[in-house]
Structure 1
Amino acid sequence: MSVSAQAIRHEYLRHNKKFPHVWCPGCGNGIVMAALLRAVYRMELSKDEVVLASGIGCSGRMPTYLDFNTLHTTHGRALTYATGVKLANPALNVVAIMGDGDATAIGGNHFIHAARRNLNLTAIIINNSIYGMTGGQYSPTTPFGSTSTTSLYGHIEHAFSIAELAVTAGASFVARATVFHGELLDRLIEQAMEKRGFAVVEVISNCHVQYGRRNKLGNAVEMLQSFKENSVTVTRAAKLSAEELEGKTTVGVLTDREMPISTEEYQKVRQRASTTKGKV
């Protein structure tokens, strides 16, 4: 173990709380957590400068293990709590960690409006194409034709792209990686946390227990190998046809733009209201 890894473990983990973790062996959530820790460590942030909010689901357990300011909130509401924290103390580095169902089903409205408002916080969405914790029901990102506990004869709804939805809804920064791309992932998370505005990192992950097993995609290692073989960088994707991109996952930065930040505009409104004393 390197010195930096030792420092990360000592500084940011709650050693006496809920270990060993509850995630299935081979789950991608641990890879995402490690990438987040490496990003925070490189940014030289103290644990008191970071807030991690989660909803309900497998990813919702992450705040239990990390010694930041943490909130384990209700299903689909991680972004609402994160918004409140950021408005109350704009100096904090606020991160919402969510799953695909948590963020884009019951939390879908919060997600698109957080992007539209361009809130100054980071959303990390772990997309494993299924509701893993609650029994393997299909989610908004479950591929057409897939099998789940609520689509025993094949899923008849079409999935949408979380990253592309974020771009369309107005996020300042949108990126995507898979849990195979560990080093890329922590760099993208670091970029997202440093970005001024609403930053989204979609992480394509494996749920080999609830999704992979039912759809004959193999074990955790085989699913990660598939991520490797079926991923293309943004640069390379720009040179490929739609037919060549069929079934591929584009990884890297999808958008990086400067836009007015909702939390900063809100402070200006407060200042104007204070100056005019309510007279408009």
Structure 2
Amino acid sequence: MNVLDIIKPENQVFCKTKLMTDTALSYCPGCGHGTAHNLAMEVIDEMGISEDTIGVAPVGCSVLAYDFMNIDITQAAHGRAPAVATAIARTWPEKYVFTYQGDGDLAAIGTAETIHACNRGENIVIIFVNNGIYGMTGGQMAPTTLEGMVSSTSPYGREIKSMGSPLKMTELVANLPGVYYVTRQSVHTHKHARKAKKAIQKAFENTRLKKGLSFVEIVSNCNSGWKMTPNDANIWMEEHMFPYFPLGDIKVDGKLK
């Protein structure tokens, strides 16, 4: 087979689970959302729980999940996904319920819903994609925007004295007694994606065992919001995001690491 044969559509191999729809991803090229979507759907498919899983997507880039995930998904108002997930999980305790949220949603307008769902130990999974910015609405500063980081609402960089420090939601919720499993991962390389998948699987296994709330943060880039190429955004993420938001498990089996 020569090069021209390889690029023909009929010869292409697409590595996606059957629980991802055939709708073309509308995320910016290089964004981690598509990989995170596929990993979550791979886990649900491999666990054989697709008919018993309900997702909740709020406002932000994550709201598009229902276009791409071939499972039952409902939409929540901005920041309210944990509250909606709580209602679903309490109504159908046999279901696997998860939220899929960005940092502008979960760590800003949704802070109260997040904190109280975690404190109560609701038997749900929260998947939290942190790219340090409001991606959908124009690249504004988010609670997770790093010190000195430029955004459309912090054109001279985030200044701690007037704007506060970047919020580490994952460390914050790890200290709540209702939270059973807390981890921070990434999906920008194959190695990191494999670790993220294992983390998501562990979270859903915890739901199966009625262990309480599992919180999986995925640090991602936003190359369009950061005004970088995808490759440069990944390098910047490794050099700046990871030191402040270090990857790895924070709480396992109800115990802080």
TM-score of the two chains, using structure 2 as the length reference: 0.84
Q: Which residue of 1 aligns with 2:247?
A: 251
Residue aligned with 1:169, SS: coil
1:42-81 correspondence to structure 2 within 5 Å:
42-45=46-49, 47-81=50-84
Q: 1:199 aligned to 2:202?
A: no
Indicate how the Cα distance of structure 1 residues 231 and 21 shifts in structure 2: closer, same or farther if over 3 A, else same.
Answer: closer
Q: Distance in 2 between matches of 1:123 and 1:146?
A: 26
5+ residue gaps, structure 1: 233-246, 260-280
Point out the structure with max Rg over C-alpha.
1
Q: Which residue of 1 aligns with 2:170?
A: 163
Deviation at 1:41, TM superposition (A): 2.3
- The amino acid that maps onto 2:220 is S
RMSD, aligned CA: 2.2
Contact 1:49 1:92 in 2 (8 A): yes
Structure 1 segments (4+ residues) deviating >3 Å: 3-6, 225-232
Deviation at 1:252, TM superposition (A): 2.2
5+ residue gaps, structure 2: 1-10
Indicate how the Cα distance of structure 1 residues 39 and 123 shifts in structure 2: closer, same or farther if over 3 A, else same.
Answer: same
Indicate how the Cα distance of structure 1 residues 110 and 231 shifts in structure 2: closer, same or farther if over 3 A, else same.
Answer: closer
Q: Distance in 2 between matches of 1:63 and 1:169?
A: 30
Q: Note the alpha carbon deviations across 1:15-50, whole angstroms, 9 max, x for none.
A: 3xxx222211111100101111221122122x2211
Q: Which residue of 1 aligns with 2:124?
A: 121
Q: 1:20 aligned to 2:27?
A: no
Q: Which residue of 1 aligns with 2:5?
A: none
Indicate how the Cα distance of structure 1 residues 231 and 143 shifts in structure 2: closer, same or farther if over 3 A, else same.
Answer: closer
Q: Which residue of 1 aligns with 2:153?
A: 150
Q: 1:188 aligned to 2:199?
A: yes
Q: Which residue of 2 aligns with 1:99?
A: 102
Q: Which residue of 2 aligns with 1:208?
A: 223
Q: Which residue of 1 aligns with 2:232?
A: 222
TM-score of the two chains, using structure 1 as the length reference: 0.77
Contact 1:231 1:251 in 2 (8 A): no
Q: Note the alpha carbon deviations across 1:245-264, whole angstroms, 9 max, x for none.
A: xx3542222101349xxxxx
Q: Which residue of 1 aligns with 2:186?
A: 178
Deviation at 1:226, TM superposition (A): 4.6
